[in-house]
């Protein structure tokens, strides 16, 4: 029987890479994407893993300490060497919980991007959950019905119920193997009371979501990534899967890939024989997991108890696999961000005709301006059009200051497919598309002045909310100075628009940016 033919994608001469900056470990997956009769698959070429324990480096005031900071940068430099020369379109790097909460996260991300040589996105918890599900769903056996995926990371745990390749319920809770171990087992000390407290604390967090998840139900439970794999390997290697709880020294049962309730109980019973994690003897217990696996075990037991799970399959596929499948989807025009924007337009009853007018005109203006030196023109056009599609979602709350409401929604809502940086840029464009510019002029992080210029100009010209036959409007920019040229005859027939354009020029001049309106 011959194997099905696999053909590389059109760009498969270039490899794709995902970098996952987790709270416990930094990981990288390099793969080749191939087309098969069943769809796109990833063929792993290389994997790297560095135990960084970033979450353990957080100080009491939520600052990333120098040791963890430097451990992270050292690992990232090695990753950067491996993917040097890759097409930027084929690399995606994401950061998770610790860099969501650290107060000096932006400084670390800036340094890390320089070390890696590629942009790094800090993603929200729900976005992390979505990507985890995509990765797991592509790598486990397909079933009919819902599947539950649980991913215990270093600083957070993601819970997802989906069907096929589509996630339906997604939650991210602030419990992780590193943070939980530091909280309940400081200095590695172990006792039955502390372990019970760790279980109860995790159960209290899970109780908040358990009702909705149990109501949805699932036919298959999957544990993804490092903690689940480590627990499954320990259970199998030590013959804890319902076949007794004694050590079988030197024996490793390969390929088990299963966590059972009996196995978790046996692991707990064995752990509580010791007073400190450094004393624990277990076949297959790795040194870089020794200090964090008690917290992961307590969380997993809480997951089993709160959700009534008896057994769970385990897959190595997780966030990094999901990142690559999502990256491939973007290249094949299945970008989740378009779906999210469409859902928001429906939810907030957006005037689609107006959104299309503003978006089409703004994109036309942006294409007349110089190409960015370090960014993708296509990416910027997409972001600008998403801003146009969402600029009026705040009207669902109030007309007064609606642009502030639009920005708040875009900046704080769960938006699958968007990184936190994507959302921040989108929110800045929305709050700046109307009203005063001073709020952005005083923000040193705001750099999207060209896109804002285009969006504001389109919004002024489309104020009449009708399909007016606009004249050819020409725009140009040089060294931050803008020029808008349009026929004087048309402007004379539209005095309100002419007045608004002159007022717009005054607003830009007020923040120190030259803006001229040329009527000819």
Going by pLDDT thresholds of 50, 70 and 90, the confidence category of residue 254 is very low
Give the C-alpha separation, 401 to 408, whole Å.
11
Q: Is 202 a member of any domain? A: yes
Q: Is 167 a member of any domain? A: yes
Which range, of 34-43, 69-78, 448-457, averages the lowest pLDDT? 34-43
| Domain identity same for 167 and 303 | yes
| Domain identity same for 170 and 61 | no
| Domain identity same for 189 and 236 | yes
Q: Is the pLDDT of residue 10 over 50?
A: no
DSSP string, 451-465: HHHHHHHHHHHTTT-
Q: Is 511 a member of any domain? A: no
Q: Can you tell me whether residue 84 is helix, strand or coil?
A: coil
Give the C-alpha separation, 87 to 411, whole Å.
30
Residue 479 is predicted with a pLDDT of 84
Task: Quick: pLDDT tens for 432-466.
Answer: 999 999 889 888 888 899 999 999 999 999 988 88
| Domain identity same for 295 and 151 | yes
Give the C-alpha separation, 352 to 358, whole Å.
10
**CATH label of the domain that carries residue 269:** 3.30.420.150
**CATH label of the domain that carries residue 55:** 3.30.420.40
Q: Is 473 a member of any domain? A: no
Q: Is the pLDDT of residue 153 over 60?
A: yes
Q: Is 294:264 a contact under the CB 8 Å cutoff?
A: no
Give the C-alpha separation, 435 to 438, whole Å.
9
Domain boundary among 269, 286, 316: 316
Which range, of 95-109, 211-225, 337-351, averages the lowest pLDDT? 337-351
pTM of the model: 0.72
Task: Quick: pLDDT tens for 44-67.
Answer: 889 999 989 898 898 989 999 999
Number of structural domains in the chain: 3
| Domain identity same for 271 and 366 | no
Q: Is 21 a member of any domain? A: yes
Mean pLDDT of 33-54: 78
| Domain identity same for 93 and 163 | no
Domain boundary among 448, 468, 488: 468
Residue 331 is predicted with a pLDDT of 60
Give the C-alpha separation, 266 to 272, whole Å.
10
| Domain identity same for 344 and 415 | yes
Residue 12 is predicted with a pLDDT of 37
| Domain identity same for 347 and 239 | no
Q: Is 349 a member of any domain? A: yes
| Domain identity same for 311 and 174 | yes
Q: Is 157:25 a contact under the CB 8 Å cutoff?
A: no
Q: Is 447 a member of any domain? A: yes
* Helix-strand-coil split of the chain, %, nearest 5: 50, 20, 30
Burial class from Cβ neighbours inside 10 Å (0-12, 13-18, 19+) for residue 174 reads: middle
Residue 5 is predicted with a pLDDT of 38
Beta partners for 157? 152, 173
Its sign, for the CA torsion 85, 88, 89, 95, is: positive
Residue 242 is predicted with a pLDDT of 59
Domain boundary among 287, 316, 345: 316
Neighbours of 26 (CB within 10 A): 26
Q: Is the pLDDT of residue 470 over 90?
A: no
Q: Is 156:96 a contact under the CB 8 Å cutoff?
A: yes
| Domain identity same for 222 and 271 | yes
Q: Is 497 a member of any domain? A: no
Beta partners for 41? 34
Task: Quick: pLDDT tens for 389-407.
Answer: 999 999 999 988 999 999 9
**CATH label of the domain that carries residue 379:** 1.10.3210.10
Q: Is the pLDDT of residue 229 over 70?
A: yes
Range of the domain at 354: 335-468
| Domain identity same for 149 and 292 | yes
| Domain identity same for 203 and 301 | yes
């Amino acid at each position: 029987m011959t194997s099905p033919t696999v053909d590389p994608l059109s760009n498969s001469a270039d490899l794709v890479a995902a970098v996952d900056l987790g709270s416990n470990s930094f990981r990288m997956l390099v793969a080749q994407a191939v087309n098969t009769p069943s769809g796109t698959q990833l063929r792993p070429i290389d994997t790297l893993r560095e135990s960084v324990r970033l979450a353990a480096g957080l100080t009491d005031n939520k600052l990333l300490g120098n040791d963890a900071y430097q451990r992270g940068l050292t690992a990232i430099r090695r990753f950067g060497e491996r993917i040097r020369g890759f097409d930027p379109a084929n690399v995606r790097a994401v950061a998770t919980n610790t860099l969501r909460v650290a107060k000096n996260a932006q400084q670390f991300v800036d340094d890390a991007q320089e070390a890696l040589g590629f942009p790094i996105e800090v993603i929200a918890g729900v976005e992390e959950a979505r990507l985890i599900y995509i990765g797991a769903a592509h790598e486990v056996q397909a079933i009919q019905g819902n599947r539950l995926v649980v991913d215990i990371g270093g600083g957070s745990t993601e819970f997802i119920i989906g069907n096929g390749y589509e996630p339906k319920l997604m939650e991210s809770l602030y419990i992780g193997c590193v943070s939980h171990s530091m909280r309940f087992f400081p200095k590695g000390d172990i006792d039955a009371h502390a372990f019970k407290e760790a279980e109860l604390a995790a159960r209290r967090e899970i109780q908040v979501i358990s009702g909705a998840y149990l109501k949805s139900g699932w036919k298959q439970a999957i544990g993804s990534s490092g903690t689940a794999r480590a627990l499954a390997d320990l259970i199998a290697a030590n013959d804890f899967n319902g076949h007794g709880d004694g050590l079988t020294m030197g024996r490793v049962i390969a390929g088990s890939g299963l966590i059972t309730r009996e196995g978790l109980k046996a692991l707990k019973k064995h752990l509580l024989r010791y007073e400190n994690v450094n004393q624990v003897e277990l076949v297959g217990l790795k040194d870089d997991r020794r200090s964090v696996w008690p917290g992961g075990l307590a969380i997993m037991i809480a997951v089993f108890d709160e959700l009534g799970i008896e057994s769970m399959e385990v897959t190595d596929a997780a966030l990094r696999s999901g990142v690559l499948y999502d990256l491939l989807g973007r290249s094949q025009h299945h970008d989740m961000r378009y779906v999210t924007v469409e859902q928001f337009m429906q939810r907030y009853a957006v005037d689609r005709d107006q959104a299309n007018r503003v978006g089409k005109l703004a994109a036309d203006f942006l294409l007349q301006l110089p190409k960015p030196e370090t960014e993708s023109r296509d990416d910027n056009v997409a972001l600008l059009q998403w801003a146009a599609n969402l600029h009026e979602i705040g009207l669902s709350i109030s007309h007064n200051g609606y642009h502030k409401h639009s920005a708040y929604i875009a900046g704080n809502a769960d938006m699958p497919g968007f990184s936190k940086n994507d959302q921040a840029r989108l929110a800045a464009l929305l709050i700046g598309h109307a009203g005063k510019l001073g709020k952005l002029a005083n923000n040193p992080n705001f750099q999207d002045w060209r896109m804002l210029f285009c969006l504001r100009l389109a919004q002024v010209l489309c104020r009449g909310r009708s399909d007016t036959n606009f004249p050819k409007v020409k725009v140009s920019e040089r060294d931050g100075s803008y020029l808008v040229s349009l026929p004087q005859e048309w402007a004379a027939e539209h005095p309100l628009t002419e007045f608004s354009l002159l007022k717009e020029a005054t607003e830009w001049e007020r923040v120190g940016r030259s803006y001229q309106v040329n009527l000819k």
